[in-house]
Amino acid sequence: MDAMQRPDLLIRPYVDGDALGVWRVLEPIIRAGETYALPRDMQEQEALSYWTGADRQTFVAEKDGGVVGTYYLRANQLGGGAHVANCGYATSGAHRGQGFARKMAEHSLDAARAEGFRAVQFNFVVEANAPAVHLWRSLGFQEVGRLPEAFHHPVQGYVDALVMFRSL
């Protein structure tokens, strides 16, 4: 799905006025606790402080004037590890399966290149989150690590998490 197919999707930097829209995307994901290692009872201010922290750039994907997705881009480590980026993505439940996550991922790879990063690393991809694993693989990410039973899924119990990596 390329940009020509989605002239209505705008990916742009986060501004303060996006806070509620971003929270509406994040809250159900955090409450479900199935994909992100965040406290399921995390409150709005804490979640927004995390997602839009000073150590990262945050973007929103906007469609018809509403926030349908969001992602952040940051250095995964400091010092000698600062050339590898890390990102987190979230798509509104009502807008999944429409290619928005892929568009955000492609946008983030371009943004990471523009910032001079040499690679992107995902530290903790819950393997049970099959759509995410499939998407990252299709975008050239490789599984470089497997963390045994590192995630406690609310339905499936202890499941593995993957470390995924892609050079830029």
Q: Per 3-state DSSP, what percentage of the chain is helix, strand, and coil (rounded to 5)?
A: 35, 35, 30
Closer CB to a second copy, 9 or 126, in the complex: 126
118 contacts 84 by C-beta, under 8 angstroms: yes
Burial class (CB in 10 A: 0-12, 13-18, 19+), 6: middle
Q: How is residue 158 written in tokens?
A: 């202890």
Rounded CA-CA distance 29/101 in Å is 14
* Closest CB 154 distance from a second copy, rounded Å: 7
- Out of 38, 135, 139, 168, the only residue in the binding site for a second copy (CB under 8 A) is 38
31 in contact with a second copy (CB under 8 A) = no
Span 72-111, contacts to a second copy by CB under 8 A: 76-84
What single-letter amino acid sits at 40? R
* Closest CB 132 distance from a second copy, rounded Å: 14
Closer CB to a second copy, 67 or 120, in the complex: 120
* Closest CB 29 distance from a second copy, rounded Å: 11
Please report the sign of the dihedral spanned by the C-alpha atoms of residue 102, residue 107, residue 110, residue 115.
negative
Closer CB to a second copy, 63 or 83, in the complex: 83
140 in contact with a second copy (CB under 8 A) = no
Binding residues (CB under 8 A) for a second copy: these are 33-34, 36-40, 42, 76-84, 118-119, 121, 123-124, 126, 144-154, 161, 163, 165, 167
